[in-house]
Structure 1
Amino acid sequence: MKISLRHLRYALAVTRHSNITQAAEHLNVSQPAISAAISELEGHLGQLLFIRQRGLGMTLTPFGRVAMDKARQILAGVHELESLATNDALSGELMLACFEDLAPYCLPQLLRGLQQRHPAIRVAIRECGFDQIGKQLSNGSLDVALSYDLGLPDGVHTTVLCELAAHALLPANHPLAAQHKVSLQQLCEYPLVLTGQAYSWQHFLDLFRFHGLQPQNLSKTHSFELQRGLVANGLGVAVAYTRPFGDHSYDGQPLAVRPISEALPLQRIVLAQSRAQSDSQLVDAFREQAVQWFGESPGFGWQP
């Protein structure tokens, strides 16, 4: 055989990391060994697998995406064959991206449950923003992504894990905290703190605009936890979907969480996978674990 499993493993590592140096570090081999394997594989196949761009790493060509999907299937079959000797049904590595503000609240328990069921599965985690998740789903460097249903590219398959209602975040001593519900109109009267990730701040402003409102005093943070911290310390109000267990910011300040009186669309947490990639038993196993966990966590911490 001209093509070996080593060729496929090295090429898939470059696909996942979009970088020969990082792929070499992950596999604990030299960079020249990775480069040579890629060149040999492209020579055997007669076509380029990757586009090499200085400073931008390695991205798959259209042919490369098809070839790497087939390589995943081959290596998955090898892992299944190897598992016959260990009596473990599943083994191998799963490349998972998770939206950065969502990861701390669900990923540790999801991974613990997956490890208990399938101890031979290794999960490589990337914490990303919406724009990075969309790009990596498109270029084939991910097996699956856990995210809100925002900024996902065309051509992805999604599994809905839960739906969340938007709620208002307020300082505990804020005048609006005395109400059972608050309106978007009332929130417009105070400084509004947004998270500045791509697609996120636009989405929340669209909620106001849909009701004919335009907040005038805006500020942005990069992270959800800094947003909560600023609100808890009286520096503004906010609208969010995720509600962590425990209504306190990192510095211990209390937060008031109130439902919003207007009818707003629910936001979905989904598992996303490129339709161009064949499904795998590893993805199926993680999907099963995620569906179960979210099904047993009503409202994902939200209790009106």
Structure 2
Amino acid sequence: MLYNTLRQYEYIVAVADTGSLTGAASLLNVSQPSLSVAITRVEAQLGQPVFLRRKGSSVNITPYGHGVIEGARALLQQAEEIERGPAKAPPFVIGFFEDIAPWYLAPALEKMHFQFPTMHFKAREGRFSDLADDLSEGRVDLAISYDVGFEGRFDRRVVQTIAPVAFLSRDHPLASRSSLELAELTTHPVLLFDEDLSEHFVRGLFDKLRLSPTIKQRVRSLELMRSLAAHGAGVGISYARPPCDVSYDGKPLVTVPISTAEAAADISLIWSALRNPEPRFSEILDALSQL
């Protein structure tokens, strides 16, 4: 807890600069008795004298007081900088949901640097809950993500609606299909992402359709899901679709779109409804909407 105010520290610095209570009182436009009382209170709180004061003579700074005055100057300067605002605008931070960052992060930054050359942009990856916290607490200005888990005071703009896909081994009974319904997957073990909000979203979708899938395994990464699916460990369900049909370990797999209408999900630009928009915020929204 702070017991001394910035104004009181301002008094101390003024006395140090002018060398007297009279000069400091005139500089600050306060009465000398009020100034003297304020300094006495500060010294009482600190437990040591900052000045040696003798009636009718200038004040002397104690050895302890020199350290206090140095700290007070730095504190006042920092407070002034906070009120004045940063001399250089902070970077505009764009957050990306981890699974779609490989598709959007690099093109987004490239577009931003080209279209807004005087601004500084940074990127940040995270899961659903991470991005929601980052937006709420000001670490991220804008997020590109599936609209999952962003409850409360958030605004959004849909940029794309996509359907999920199923990852299957080459010899899976459903591998020859051009599209699949979610209901067709309930007789096969499925692989889901091991993240509360992601799994909650997919399980909620199954519940909505009154389907009861068998969860074979939960995974943390898209490529692990694809690898397990390629080896016949289950059917992976994902909204991210890499352009190749080979897993990281070189095993071929098949990617089949899921055509169930209710399974479609939005990729959105999401931001806190409480943030103070940048002057060019709407232009940034428009530019990112074109990705």
Is contact 2:105–2:123 with CA below 8 Å preserved after alignment? no
Instruction: Return closer, same or farther for 1:39/1:257 CA change in 2, 3 Å cut-off.
Output: farther
My pick for the range that moved more, 267-276 or 134-143, is 134-143
Give the aligned partner of residue 190 of structure 1: 188
Q: Distance in 2 between matches of 1:162 and 1:258?
A: 19
C-alpha displacement of 1:103: 0.6
C-alpha displacement of 1:150: 0.3
- Out of 178, 187, 203, the residue aligned to residue 201 of structure 2 is 203
Give the aligned partner of residue 259 of structure 1: 257
Is contact 1:232–1:255 with CA below 8 Å preserved after alignment? yes
The one-letter code sitting in structure 2 at the alignment partner of 1:131 is S
SS of the residue corresponding to residue 175 of structure 1 reads coil
Unpaired runs of 5+ in structure 2? Answer: 1-5, 7-70
C-alpha displacement of 1:149: 0.1
Kindly report which structure 2 residues correspond to 1:28-47, keeping only aligned pairs within 5 A, or say none: none
Give the aligned partner of residue 135 of structure 1: 133
Q: Distance in 1 between matches of 2:277 and 2:91?
A: 14
Is contact 2:164–2:237 with CA below 8 Å preserved after alignment? yes
Give the aligned partner of residue 248 of structure 1: 246
Is 1:223 the equivalent of 2:221? yes
C-alpha displacement of 1:95: 1.7
Is 1:109 the equivalent of 2:107? yes
Give the aligned partner of residue 121 of structure 2: 123
Instruction: Return closer, same or farther for 1:200/1:284 CA change in 2, 3 Å cut-off.
Output: same
Q: Distance in 1 between matches of 2:264 and 2:189?
A: 24
Q: Percent identity among equivalent residues?
A: 29
Give the aligned partner of residue 280 of structure 1: 278
C-alpha displacement of 1:265: 3.9
Instruction: Return closer, same or farther for 1:106/1:261 CA change in 2, 3 Å cut-off.
Output: closer
SS of the residue corresponding to residue 186 of structure 1 reads helix
Give the aligned partner of residue 167 of structure 1: 165
Q: Distance in 2 between matches of 1:177 and 1:37?
A: 72
Query: Cα RMSD between the aligned structures?
Result: 3.1
Give the aligned partner of residue 143 of structure 2: 145
Is contact 1:100–1:129 with CA below 8 Å preserved after alignment? yes
Unpaired runs of 5+ in structure 1? Answer: 3-34, 46-67, 80-90, 294-304
Give the aligned partner of residue 290 of structure 2: 292
Q: Distance in 1 between matches of 2:262 and 2:128?
A: 21
The one-letter code sitting in structure 2 at the alignment partner of 1:129 is R
Instruction: Return closer, same or farther for 1:244/1:289 CA change in 2, 3 Å cut-off.
Output: farther
What are the superposed Cα offsets for residues 272-297 of structure 1, whole Å, 9 maximum, x if unpaired?
Answer: 1111112114544432331111xxxx
What are the superposed Cα offsets for residues 80-123 of structure 1, whole Å, 9 maximum, x if unpaired?
Answer: xxxxxxxxxxx751122211111111111111122222334322
C-alpha displacement of 1:234: 1.8
Runs of 4+ deviating beyond 3 Å:
35-45, 281-286
Q: Distance in 2 between matches of 1:105 and 1:248?
A: 18
Q: Distance in 1 between matches of 2:109 and 2:76?
A: 36
Instruction: Return closer, same or farther for 1:278/1:43 CA change in 2, 3 Å cut-off.
Output: closer
C-alpha displacement of 1:182: 2.3
What are the superposed Cα offsets for residues 11-56 of structure 1, whole Å, 9 maximum, x if unpaired?
Answer: xxxxxxxxxxxxxxxxxxxxxxxx99996589679xxxxxxxxxxx
Is contact 1:164–1:242 with CA below 8 Å preserved after alignment? no
Instruction: Return closer, same or farther for 1:37/1:179 CA change in 2, 3 Å cut-off.
Output: farther
The one-letter code sitting in structure 2 at the alignment partner of 1:258 is V
SS of the residue corresponding to residue 178 of structure 1 reads coil
User: What is the TM-score when the length of structure 2 is the normalising length?
Assistant: 0.67
Is contact 2:124–2:140 with CA below 8 Å preserved after alignment? no
